[in-house]
Chain A
């Protein structure tokens, strides 16, 4: 069964450092998303990406964040200068293009720890 994969599973970084989180969405999906979940809190939307451009972003997704689809399979989230409050689980999700297929399938997540 196709699945979304994410690497690394756990990333520890120092405040101010840049991190890149990687995702491989399901192969025939065309909508891609990043969400985050701070420990004990709800899952929050960060950004959606379609047709090689950002289609929507949340207030959280400020200038420190960027996304890219560098090739036909990977989808990345970059945080330029990490802050302590960026510590969270980051989930990638994807969904198909068809009008009725709004289900989003999530990856296992990357746990980001900023020290």
Chain B
């Protein structure tokens, strides 16, 4: 079983739609969860960061973490053509007292296209 699984899509939605992106994971040590947006051949851009379980909202974006189900989600409200990109989930465990953790494990990325 892969540590982090993400449906690669592609996902195509009309402008204004609500988009739901999801990842599942297997490692119960993960506590820190991030969503990145990546354009072709560019660096990942941090969108949302969540520690442990719960919801976090930032403008049109909402991140949810359900540690009991090992499932995280990113919702995009009122999607715009400029939201078209690949969305990556990433997660890490506690660094530990010897600072040996903290590496991010990424999902495959979901390619999103928002049509005008």
**Can you name the residue of chain B whose Cβ is closest to the Cβ of A109?**
B43
A interface, by DSSP: helix, strand, loop or mixed?
strand
Interface string of A42-62 (1 = CB under 8 A from B): 111100101100011010000
Chain B facing A: main interface SS: loop
Cβ-defined contact, A91 with B49, below 8 A: no
- A sample of 14 more A-B contacts (CB under 8 A), given A55-B100, A111-B41, is A6-B43, A31-B95, A33-B103, A35-B104, A43-B88, A51-B99, A56-B101, A58-B103, A102-B51, A102-B92, A103-B49, A106-B43, A108-B42, A109-B42
Task: Check if A109 sits within 8 Å of B100, measured CB to CB.
Answer: no
Interface size class of B (residues with CB under 8 A): 20 to 34
**Is B14 an interface position by the 8 A CB rule?**
no
Q: Does B44 lie within 8 Å of A106, measured CB to CB?
A: yes
Looking at the assembled complex, report how far the CB atom of A22 sits from the nearest CB atom of chain B, in whole angstroms.
14
C-alpha spacing A50/B90, complex, angstroms: 20
Interface size class of A (residues with CB under 8 A): 20 to 34
Greatest chain A CB density within 10 A among B36, B43, B88, B90 is at B43
CB neighbours (8 Å) of A109 from chain B are: 41-43
| Interface: B45 (CB within 8 A) | yes
List B70-116 residues whose CB lies under 8 Å from chain A: 88, 90, 92, 95, 98-109
Residue among B101, B106, B107 with most chain A CB within 10 A: B106
Given contacts A51-B99, A104-B34, A109-B41, contact A45 B46 (CB under 8 A): no
